[in-house]
Amino acid sequence: MFVIIFKKEKFRMSDSENDAEEALIQKHKKEKKELQAQIQKLKHSAPKGDKKKKKEVTEEIARLESELSLDGLKTSDEPQDDTPTSQTEGSLKKQDGKISRTQKRRDKKAAKEKEREQRIIEQEKDNLTGDRNVEFEKMKAVLKSRGLQIYEIPSDGNCLYNAINHQLKTAGINSSCESLRKQTAQYLRDHAEDFFPFMTKDNGDLYTEEDFVKYCQDVESTTAWGGQIEIQAMSHVLKQPMEVIQSDIQPIKIGEQYEKGGQSSIILPYHKHAYGLGEHYNSVEPYKEEEEDGFI
């Protein structure tokens, strides 16, 4: 009688382990499906023409596909019969009625990863209807109507100078960011009376002479962001008309006196919501038909 009871109890434990093993396999299959769905959503989330966002999405897709491949290997390695391997038995084994520490760590890691992936998907959805993408699409339409498209400039503090420099080089004019900064700073110093009296700090106070001197030094030797003042100065330095284009208001023209003689304007797309820090200048190039994204 004792022997029969012992065998019956042992058989019941094996059923429990097999059930747990089957549950783990089903869990992997479910996670694999969810991962595949996330990849498909990401493939269609990058706006056409937004090269930076497309690159980010491509990298994220590659990472997810790598995880999907690894997950497939783990699933195929798991036992499909009723005999648990020592690895499966060790991961599913209960000690004193509690889940093993190894399994707890795995579950916690999986939960965190799943939560992170969900945040990425939600962020991509927000990007499609957020200020950044709405502004970008409007800007594309404005430029397309003029036979132009955005030429992306890195957001590193030098965006204004690099955007102007890009168009100067396209026109066959030799220039550099460093040269433009030095010439702009010198023009501000030489024509201080045209700028200094009208410059104010963030709190509304007028610039002191010391403030103005430092401002010019920053223009010349740092990556300080350039704006309206610098555009005006560079227009005079280069004797070039400049046009600042925004997505929702009429273009602002600067240096119109230099349009005489057929001088074409330097076009500067101005984005309020391009990056986390806000304002940004891009350049332009002749419009080309949009290429396929390359996503399946």
Residue 139: name the closest of 129, 153, 149, 127 by CA. Answer: 149
Instruction: Verify that 120 and 137 share a domain, yes or no.
Output: no
Instruction: Verify that 13 and 111 share a domain, yes or no.
Output: yes
Check residue 187 and give its pLDDT. Answer: 98
Instruction: Verify that 153 and 269 share a domain, yes or no.
Output: yes
Q: Looking at the domain assignment, is residue 146 inside a domain?
A: yes
Instruction: Verify that 247 and 138 share a domain, yes or no.
Output: yes
Q: In the block, which residue shows the tokens 């005999």?
A: 83
Instruction: Verify that 237 and 157 share a domain, yes or no.
Output: yes
pLDDT bracket for residue 13 (50, 70, 90): very low
Check residue 89 and give its pLDDT. Answer: 47
Q: Looking at the domain assignment, is residue 209 inside a domain?
A: yes
Check residue 276 and give its pLDDT. Answer: 52
Residues 58-86 pLDDT 10s = 777 777 767 666 555 554 444 444 444 44
pLDDT bracket for residue 262 (50, 70, 90): low
Average pLDDT, the chain: 78
Q: Looking at the domain assignment, is residue 175 inside a domain?
A: yes
Check residue 68 and give its pLDDT. Answer: 62
Instruction: Verify that 110 and 256 share a domain, yes or no.
Output: no
Check residue 139 and give its pLDDT. Answer: 92
Q: Looking at the domain assignment, is residue 295 inside a domain?
A: no
pLDDT bracket for residue 49 (50, 70, 90): low
Check residue 86 and give its pLDDT. Answer: 45
Any idea which of 3-7, 19-23, 94-98, 149-153 has the lowest mean pLDDT?
3-7
Picking from 129, 145, 169, the residue at the C-terminal end of a domain is: 129
Orientation of helix 2-43 relative to helix 51-77, angle to 10°: 160
Q: How many domains does the chain have?
A: 2
Q: Looking at the domain assignment, is residue 294 inside a domain?
A: no
Q: Looking at the domain assignment, is residue 293 inside a domain?
A: no
Q: Could you tell me how far CA 181 lies from the centroid of its own chain?
A: 28
DSSP 201: -
Picking from 59, 94, 129, the residue at the C-terminal end of a domain is: 129
- The burial of 186, by beta-carbon neighbours within 10 Å (0-12 exposed, 13-18 middle, 19 or more buried), is given as middle
Instruction: Verify that 17 and 147 share a domain, yes or no.
Output: no
Instruction: Verify that 225 and 187 share a domain, yes or no.
Output: yes
CATH of the domain at 160: 3.90.70.80
pTM of the entire predicted model: 0.56
Check residue 231 and give its pLDDT. Answer: 97
Instruction: Verify that 89 and 151 share a domain, yes or no.
Output: no
Average pLDDT over residues 156-168: 96
Q: Looking at the domain assignment, is residue 52 inside a domain?
A: yes
Picking from 129, 151, 181, the residue at the C-terminal end of a domain is: 129
Catalytic residues: 156, 159, 280
Q: Are 168 and 238 in contact (CB under 8 A)?
A: yes
Instruction: Verify that 67 and 38 share a domain, yes or no.
Output: yes
Domain extent for 68: 2-129
Average pLDDT over residues 13-24: 64
Q: Looking at the domain assignment, is residue 150 inside a domain?
A: yes
First to last CA, the chain: 65
Q: Which is it for strands 266-275 and 242-245: parallel, antiparallel or unpaired?
A: parallel
Instruction: Verify that 8 and 115 share a domain, yes or no.
Output: yes
The span from the CA of 13 to the CA of 50, in Å, is 57
Instruction: Verify that 105 and 205 share a domain, yes or no.
Output: no
pLDDT bracket for residue 10 (50, 70, 90): very low
- Tell me: pLDDT of 35 over 70: yes
Q: In the block, which residue shows the tokens 């240096």?
A: 255
Residues 169-221 pLDDT 10s = 999 999 999 999 999 999 999 999 999 999 999 899 999 999 999 999 999 99
